[in-house]
């Protein structure tokens, strides 16, 4: 391994567990302003002295501002380091960091506060060698887990030379370090059903059942599921809500489906599959969230070769189905690489964890 990289990696590892404990100790579910501000304050305290701090508005309304730190250099090249501070875990379910064997478990540990800690460490390391870059920016957003609107920051960094995102890392099937250079487009489909109330015991046939209509819509969406097809489309109904009482024909309801594909255009097939009417109930389908896909395999291949030589071990390209803010930047910064955070598992679940060893290599 390159001596400078080895030295800096050791320094980052020395602090990583303590810093992860501090950051995971803050409960910061998406949309919670106080939690986001506290998490941002922890990160600001871990920044190098050379960093200038900005708080640009978050892409989502009613959220705390995002955190942007910039370090100016005297060399060439501009790099964006990317992460997010929000989690999907509610305050009541939040778990602080705890050691369990060879893991560090806690809410948001792998998605993605472990990655944030490594990104902060990388920024501190680069701040020591300003002659090697013109600018390094670290952007930590507060709404990655629950954003439905447009992402606000792409144009600010258009023209940067590289974007490095610190979502969780992984190994390939041969045990080699793998970084993410391809992601599917991701979308959320909403179906609203409108029927008519009636007493389900004395006059059931006077009603128009919105729940049955949504059931038909869910089946139609599921029939579009084609993970091995040309676009590798997945279409999965995930949430349905309808009805207000056990003895009333439900007049309204809502269905949510998660859709992923190589191209966002493939989502049109899902929308078109939802019928306009079922059993007298009307159905309205729309796409409420679309994240672009990412494919930086060609642009990043030479860099991965150079990085492997410096690291002294193979680094291979990989793909991942989950969405990430790296996908938003890949269209404007072709040299975008994701999956640079620590390895772990259980994202969004009570057993969420980071593998301790992955913070130290």
Bridge-based pairing of strands 170-171 and 177-183 is antiparallel
> Which residue do the tokens 């007493």 mark?
199
How many whole angstroms separate alpha carbon 301 and alpha carbon 292?
A: 21
- DSSP symbols for 35-81: HHHHHHHHHHHTS-TTPEEE-PPPSSTTSPPPEEEEEE-SSS-EEEE
Model pLDDT for residues 28-61, shown as the tens digit of each residue: 999 999 999 999 999 999 999 999 999 999 999 9
Buried b / exposed e along 123-145 (16+ C-beta atoms within 10 A)? bbbbbeebeebebbbbbbbbbbb
Spell out the domains of the chain, with CATH numbers in brackets.
3-183+293-359 (3.40.630.10), 185-291 (3.30.70.360)
pTM, rounded to two decimals: 0.91
State the pLDDT at residue 321.
83
State the pLDDT at residue 148.
87
3-state DSSP call for residue 111? helix
How many whole angstroms separate alpha carbon 295 and alpha carbon 183?
A: 7
How many whole angstroms separate alpha carbon 355 and alpha carbon 361?
A: 11
Query: Alpha carbon 291 to chain centroid distance?
Result: 10
State the pLDDT at residue 296.
96
For the beta sheet containing 185-194, the strands, ordered from the edge strand earlier in sequence to the opposite edge, are 234-242, 252-261, 185-194, 281-291, 277-278
**Which stretches of the chain score pLDDT less than 50?**
none
Q: Pick the closest to residue 323 from 348, 352, 360, 355 (CA basis).
A: 348
3-state DSSP call for residue 175? coil
State the pLDDT at residue 137.
98
């Amino acid at each position: 391994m390159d001596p400078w990289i080895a030295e800096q990696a050791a320094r980052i590892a020395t602090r990583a567990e303590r810093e992860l404990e501090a950051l995971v100790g803050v409960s910061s579910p998406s949309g919670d302003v106080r939690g986001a501000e506290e998490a941002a304050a922890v990160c600001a305290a871990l920044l190098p002295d050379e960093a200038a701090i900005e708080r640009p508005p978050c892409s989502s309304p009613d959220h705390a501002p995002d955190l942007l730190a910039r370090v100016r250099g005297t060399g060439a090249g501009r790099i964006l380091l990317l992460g997010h501070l929000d989690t999907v875990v509610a305050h009541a379910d939040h778990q602080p960091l705890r050691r369990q064997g060879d893991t560090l478990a806690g809410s948001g540990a792998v998605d993605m506060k472990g990655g944030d800690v490594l990104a902060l460490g990388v920024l501190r390391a680069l701040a020591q060698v300003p002659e090697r870059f013109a600018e390094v920016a670290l952007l930590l957003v507060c709404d990655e887990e629950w954003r439905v609107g447009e992402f606000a920051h792409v144009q600010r960094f258009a023209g940067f030379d590289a974007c490095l995102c610190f979502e969780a890392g992984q190994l390939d099937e041969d045990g080699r370090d793998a970084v993410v250079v391809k992601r599917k487009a991701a979308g959320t489909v909403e179906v609203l059903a409108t029927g008519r109330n009636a007493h389900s015991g004395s006059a059931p046939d006077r009603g128009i059942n919105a729940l049955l209509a949504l059931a038909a819509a869910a089946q139609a969406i599921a029939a579009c599921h084609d993970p091995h097809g040309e676009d590798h489309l997945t279409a999965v109904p995930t949430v349905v809500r309808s009805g207000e009482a056990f003895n009333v024909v439900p007049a309204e309801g809502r269905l949510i489906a998660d859709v992923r594909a190589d191209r966002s255009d493939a989502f049109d097939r899902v929308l078109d599959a939802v019928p306009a009417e079922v059993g007298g109930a009307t159905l309205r389908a729309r796409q409420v969230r679309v994240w672009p896909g990412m494919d930086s395999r060609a642009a990043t291949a030479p860099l991965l070769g150079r990085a492997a030589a410096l690291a002294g071990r193979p680094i291979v390209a990989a793909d991942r189905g989950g969405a990430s803010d790296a996908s938003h930047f890949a269209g404007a910064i072709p040299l975008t690489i994701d999956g640079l955070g620590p390895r772990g598992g259980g994202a969004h679940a009570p057993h969420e964890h980071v593998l301790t060893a992955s913070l130290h290599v």
